[in-house]
Amino acid sequence: MHDYVNTPLGWFHFITALISMLSGTYVLFKPKGTQLHKQIGYLYVLSMILACGSALGVYNITGNFGVFHTLAIVGLLTLFLGISPLFLKTINSKYKIFHVWFMYYSVLGLYAGFISELTLRIPEKPSYSMVGITSVAVFIFGSFFIFFKEKTWKSNFKY
């Protein structure tokens, strides 16, 4: 099995990713728009920036830039797309829908990364095809959840 948390950067990445998972999960399942939602949401954004940023410095799986680094960049992009509508409210009246969609996919990407890490690191002989299968399964399941929740969002958000 890989030694994952064996450096200060590895520990930093692990802790910020854990904070991201906890805060992201809270925000997904609790009421939107409250003061607590905003505070926990900003904690999520900060911890995701730190987790994705630190992921770019972790190279102990393959020894060089790889798919997890690319996905960290995609995670940062999704996060940016999720938070930017809040700063562009006056430009688009549908900003809340864009915010919710991208933030849900940001957390979904975090879940897929977590499952990928577990799938890759737990067995003695990791299977990269299993990593792909589990990640796709998380996205399929999560997308059904998002599409189901979209009706609720649209009924709650007045344009």
Check pLDDT > 50 for residue 1.
no
If 0-12 CB within 10 Å is exposed, 13-18 middle and 19+ buried, where does residue 126 land? middle
Tens digits of residue pLDDT in 56-115: 887 666 667 777 778 889 889 999 999 988 888 766 667 888 888 899 999 998 998 888
Instruction: Write down the pLDDT at residue 43.
Output: 97
Instruction: Write down the pLDDT at residue 157.
Output: 62
Whole-angstrom Cα distance, residue 123 to residue 2?
9
Instruction: Write down the pLDDT at residue 63.
Output: 67
Instruction: Write down the pLDDT at residue 119.
Output: 80
146: Cβ–Cβ under 8 A, 6 or more apart, which residues?
101, 104, 105, 108
pTM over 0.85: no
Q: Which of 34-43, 58-67, 68-77, 123-132 has the lowest mean pLDDT?
A: 58-67
Instruction: Write down the pLDDT at residue 154.
Output: 67
Residue 107 has a CB neighbour count (10 Å cut-off) of 25
